[in-house]
């Protein structure tokens, strides 16, 4: 019976696909969604690649898929920058059955994987066709020689996500470790099947296929005109077409109107591949910018007697730009400060892992856009193709890496990294949002720099993009190659002649659920792990610090291009707070619910007048506290129940208006914002009443909830009062029931272990968010949320909530669908939909930059300090000199041999702050490096290579042991933080001296 059903299914599928192939021009290409209905087993099964293998007992899944969605976000952070490590690792198998009709015989068939974590061995009908180990870069294979047209075909993929215990020893894949990315294995991005003519425009998939697709760039761009160049790689693998071809390139504006087209004659004999070059001049172009991301569409076609043989579409953004070392970033002649986030390309989500439908990736982008972002640095591997398109759509200047950890690599590791960088450049070089290629997360050798730069000169010689490395200041040879300094939360620039952009500032952490010390403690200060936390910031403190870091490190520096806050979303990678199941460095949590920091940055980064009151307005009687208001305006008036409390026209850190000693009164608090005496913005927060009911709000993609086996619906669950206002202090446990064709994936509680995938969850600050995954079966799904447990007899005064949703059927024919997840059409906004953001309403005064002024040291060259507060270089160490920037202790008794040394005045406040590259410099001469260390603190690992001098230095009542190291000129010296565990209260930060060795 199963055999008969399969035969009928194949026959109907052939008819449908035949009609699809015949639609429009008979020989044009077809791109199929290959995501749905894979067979999956969480085991390494012998013979699983064989086309005859019986996989009927395997689980049916759809991509994007990960096998780590149920064992993530469930453990407390380990501290020491380690990520979540107790996830299932090993080898699994995926198998996908599909068929193409006999009418497709003679076509070319390619498969494209957007990304597989971490090692993918790919088979077609039992034949091994290749391996990919990058985890983040799209790759593809030519299936044509192996396809059986008119019959069942099987693609099998063996996937392995195992890794070494320490990322340094995880060769060759040093970036494949939870230190950098959560270890969520699987086919976690989209899969496509391309069916096209033997005469075709190639795919931009260099790995294995060694094809480049199209290359689009512009020259002589101004507001009057622009020259657009299109280089199209065309391959002729057929014998039935003439070698003389017409290549048509057409440019369409945002509304779909033809702007201009050109036809170029080309000679491409059978069996040959060539690149055809076309030039088109556009008059009065609409320029792409961060405030107006206008996109054209380029359609390139191969024509024979006017009939389209093959065609391809690409985005076109026309812009000119400059990263200036003295005046910062400029686009189309306008000075723009770049502000945004670093973001992990895994984009992990509590309850779902890293396997997300693309609309959820756009949801994250929309939040970054809402908060006023215009810059993103993907760290430390490349984003998905859809996210590259989103950068174009939302106007985000993008820094794009290949794959990297944090090391200078050799051998096979370097070969994989170099090839991945090449593949990434070929795949993403047409995106107008990409302005910087990041070669790695660490400085390279001279030879490696040459190889990476050769990739750019070969595949993106006309893109005018800058090239850089985070921590390029580690090697002197870097200055010959990098064209932009990618800063590392440093307080001073390291390359005075290069423009600078920050890659990772404000790496602090704070959960969303804890408001401030005047609010009820939701398992934070009372958490048994609180003493192990590197950071103990409330949401309020964290919101203010985000503004302070931005202003003091980048915002007030006129020469600075801007930077990336590290990171946008919480995730289980490298957390340092053991009260949390995430690294809580995001402006939104792990289900994208905004923290107070989100609203603070929105109030200073958006161009329209903004004002934000940090926190809530539900306190106990007699509460008196400082109220913080953040705003991009000149002055603020604060009112409580319409009574003027105070005015403030002298913000700190550019945008923070503090109002001390505000007495709480039930009612409302209002902030009015003024520019030049005119009221331009206001905000009000009210005291909510007692929670009386729950409320459920659904969130889906623009096409609704698709029954494709991988789509997600999000449900926001809130506790609200009689007037429908959220109750910000509510932490009730909510129980869920689900009826209908859906898979529960839940959400999480940030301060509780094992909270994911349960059908109950605590509200945090009055709200939480859960997820349900669709199945291949469509239908109605009903969800009920209640504060009463399923087996409880307890009554509740909070009314439950119920919502009914319906999944939409998705047509799947013989394993293929024409409904694509995310394509060029999804980013093409018409001129009516595009909104030109205004110029910034107001900017605080910024001191002008005077080029040529240097505070660099002869000994401590390329000096950088990545701590929470700045460190200062000083000369002529002697008794009476101040030791710290924030303590009054002076050096009193010091060994005579260190007198006269250059030294670093450290911030003692950073004695709990940890980073493996907290202090770094390149020795300017042969020198002796001295470190004085408080031995009440466990000695950091870097001191293992230092010699104990046997002498001490006394700072106040603290005795510091003195160590030394003989450094050679040009040697890079790296010092980690004081301790990767919480040091004793009252202990001291180490201090550093340097003395030239004669």
CA distances from 102 to 32, 126, 194, 961 (A): 17, 21, 16, 80
φ, ψ of residue 385 to 5 degrees: the values are: -55, -40
CA distance 358 to 385: 10
610, 617, 604: which is closest to 667 by C-alpha?
617
Q: How far apart are CA 91 and CA 21, in angstroms?
A: 37
In the three-class reduction of DSSP (H, G, I as helix; E, B as strand; rest coil), residue 598 is classed as helix
Say how many residues make up the chain. 998
Distance CA 96, CA 34 (A): 9
Alpha carbons 577 and 506: distance in angstroms, whole number:
15
- Report yes or no: 508 and 523 within 8 Å, Cβ to Cβ: no
What are the DSSP calls for 368-408, one per residue?
Answer: HHHTT--EEEE-SS---HHHHHHHHHHT-EEEEE-S--SS-
Beta bridge partners of 696: 717
Beta-carbon contacts of residue 434 (< 8 Å; ≥ 6 apart): 388, 391, 398, 399, 400, 428, 465
Q: Which two tokens stand for residue 933?
A: 């260390």
Measuring CA to CA, which residue among 304, 313, 319 is closest to residue 251?
A: 313
Distance CA 381, CA 401 (A): 5
Half-sphere exposure of 136 (CA within 13 A, CB side): 35
Residues 536 and 545 sit within 8 Å (Cβ to Cβ): no
- The two tokens of residue 425 are 């450049």
Quick count: other Cβ atoms within 10 Å of Cβ 109?
Answer: 21
Tell me phi and psi for residue 79, to 5 degrees. Answer: 80, 180
The residues annotated with a catalytic role in the active site are 504
Are 962 and 895 spatial neighbours (Cβ–Cβ below 8 Å)? yes
| Phi, psi for 653 (deg, rounded to 5) | 50, 35
Cβ distance 204 to 235 under 8 Å? Answer: no
Among 569, 534, 168, 141, CA closest to 360: 569
Cβ atoms < 10 Å from Cβ of 646: 16
- Nearest Cα neighbor of 603 from 550, 640, 677 is 550
The Cα–Cα gap between 729 and 716 comes to 16
Helix, strand or coil, per DSSP, at residue 231: strand
Tell me how far the alpha carbon of residue 197 is from its chain's centroid: 37
């Amino acid at each position: 019976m199963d055999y008969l059903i399969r035969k009928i299914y194949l026959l109907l599928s052939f008819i449908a696909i035949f009609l699809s192939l015949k639609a429009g021009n008979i020989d044009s290409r077809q791109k199929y969604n290959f995501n749905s209905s894979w067979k999956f087993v969480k085991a390494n099964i012998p013979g699983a690649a064989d086309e005859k293998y019986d996989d009927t007992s395997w689980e049916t899944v759809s991509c994007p898929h990960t096998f780590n969605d149920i064992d993530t976000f469930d453990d407390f952070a380990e501290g020491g920058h380690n990520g979540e490590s107790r996830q299932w690792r090993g080898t699994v198998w995926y198998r996908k059955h599909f068929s193409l009709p006999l009418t497709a015989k003679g076509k070319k068939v390619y498969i494209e994987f957007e990304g597989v974590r971490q090692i993918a061995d790919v088979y077609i009908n039992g034949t091994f066709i290749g391996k990919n180990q990058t985890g983040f870069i799209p790759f593809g294979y030519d299936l044509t020689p192996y396809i059986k047209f008119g019959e069942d075909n099987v693609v099998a993929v063996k996937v392995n996500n195992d890794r070494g215990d320490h990322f340094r020893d995880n060769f060759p894949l040093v970036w494949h470790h939870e230190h950098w990315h959560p270890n969520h294995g699987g086919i976690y991005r989209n899969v496509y099947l391309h069916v096209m003519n033997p005469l075709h425009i190639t795919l931009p998939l260099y790995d294995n296929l060694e094809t480049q697709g199209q290359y689009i760039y512009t020259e002589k761009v101004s507001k009057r005109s622009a020259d657009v160049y299109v280089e199209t790689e065309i391959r002729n693998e057929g014998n039935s077409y003439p070698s003389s071809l017409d290549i048509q390139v057409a440019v369409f504006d945002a509304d779909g109107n033809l702007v201009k087209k050109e036809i170029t004659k080309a000679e491409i004999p059978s069996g040959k591949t060539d690149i055809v070059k076309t030039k088109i001049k556009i008059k009065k172009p609409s320029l792409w910018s961060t405030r107006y991301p206008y996109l054209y569409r380029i359609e390139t076609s191969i024509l024979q007697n006017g009939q389209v043989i093959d065609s391809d579409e690409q985005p076109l953004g026309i812009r000119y730009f400059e990263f200036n070392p003295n005046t910062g970033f400029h686009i189309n002649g306008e000075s723009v400060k770049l502000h945004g986030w670093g973001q992990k390309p895994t984009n992990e989500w509590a309850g779902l892992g890293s396997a997300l439908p693309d609309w959820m990736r756009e949801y994250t982008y929309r939040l970054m856009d809402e908060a006023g972002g215009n810059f993103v640095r993907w760290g430390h591997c490349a984003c998905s193709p859809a996210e590259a398109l989103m950068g174009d759509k939302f106007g985000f200047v993008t820094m794009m890496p290949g794959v990297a950890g944090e090391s200078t690599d050799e051998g096979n590791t370097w070969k994989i990294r170099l090839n991945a960088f090449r593949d990434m450049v070929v795949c993403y070089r047409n995106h107008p949002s990409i302005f910087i290629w990041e070669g790695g997360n660490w400085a390279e050798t001279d030879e490696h720099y040459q190889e990476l730069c050769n990739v750019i000169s070969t595949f993106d010689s006309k893109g005018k993009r800058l090239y850089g490395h985070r921590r390029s200041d580690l090697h002197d040879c870097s200055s010959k190659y990098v064209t932009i300094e990618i800063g590392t939360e440093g307080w001073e620039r390291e390359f005075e002649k290069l423009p600078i952009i920050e890659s990772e500032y404000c790496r602090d952490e704070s959960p969303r659920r804890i408001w401030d010390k005047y609010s009820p403690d939701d398992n934070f200060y009372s958490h048994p792990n609180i003493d192990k936390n590197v950071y103990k910031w409330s949401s309020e403190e964290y919101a203010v610090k985000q503004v302070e870091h931005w202003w003091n490190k980048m915002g007030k520096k006129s020469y600075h291009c801007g930077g990336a806050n590290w990171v946008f979303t919480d995730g289980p990678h490298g957390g340092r707070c053991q009260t949390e199941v995430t690294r809580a460095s995001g402006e939104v949590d792990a289900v994208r619910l905004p923290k107070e920091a989100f609203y603070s940055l929105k109030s200073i980064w958006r161009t329209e007048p903004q004002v934000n009151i940090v926190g809530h307005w539900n306190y106990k009687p007699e509460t008196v506290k400082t109220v913080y208001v953040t705003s991009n305006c000149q002055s603020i008036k604060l009112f409580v129940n319409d009574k003027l409390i105070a005015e403030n026209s002298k913000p700190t850190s550019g945008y923070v208006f503090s109002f001390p000693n505000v007495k709480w009164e039930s009612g409302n608090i209002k902030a009015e914002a003024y520019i030049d005496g005119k009221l331009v913005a206001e905000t009000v927060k009210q005291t909510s009443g007692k929670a009386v009911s729950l409320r459920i709000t659904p969130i889906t993609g623009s096409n609704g909830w698709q029954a494709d086996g991988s789509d997600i619906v999000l449900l926001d669950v809130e506790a609200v009062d009689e007037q429908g206002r959220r109750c910000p202090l509510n932490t009730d446990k909510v129980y869920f029931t689900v009826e209908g064709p859906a898979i529960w994936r839940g959400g999480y509680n940030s301060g509780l272990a094992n909270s994911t995938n349960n059908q109950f969850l605590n509200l945090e600050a009055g709200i939480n968010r859960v997820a349900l995954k669709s199945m291949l079966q469509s239908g109605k799904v009903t969800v009920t949320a209640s504060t009463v447990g399923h087996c409880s007899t307890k009554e509740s005064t909070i009314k439950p909530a119920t919502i009914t949703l319906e999944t939409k059927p998705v047509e799947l024919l013989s394993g293929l669908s024409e409904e694509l997840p995310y394509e060029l059409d999804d980013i093409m906004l018409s001129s009516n939909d595009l909104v030109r953001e205004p110029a910034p309403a107001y900017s605080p005064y910024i001191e002008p930059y005077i080029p040529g002024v240097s505070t660099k040291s002869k000994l401590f060259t390329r000096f950088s300090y990545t701590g929470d507060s700045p460190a200062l270089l000083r000369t002529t160490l002697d008794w009476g000199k101040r030791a710290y920037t924030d303590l009054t202790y002076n050096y009193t008794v010091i060994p005579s041999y260190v007198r006269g040394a250059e030294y670093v005045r450290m911030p003692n406040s950073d004695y709990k702050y940890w980073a493996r590259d907290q202090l770094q410099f390149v020795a300017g001469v042969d020198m002796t490096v001295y470190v004085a260390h408080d031995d009440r603190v466990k000695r950091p690992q870097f001191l293992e290579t230092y010699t104990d001098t046997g002498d001490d230095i006394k700072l106040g009542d603290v005795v510091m042991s003195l160590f030394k190291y003989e450094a050679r000129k040009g040697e890079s010296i790296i010092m980690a933080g004081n301790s990767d565990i919480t040091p004793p209260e009252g202990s001291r930060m180490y201090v550093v001296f340097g003395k030239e060795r004669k």
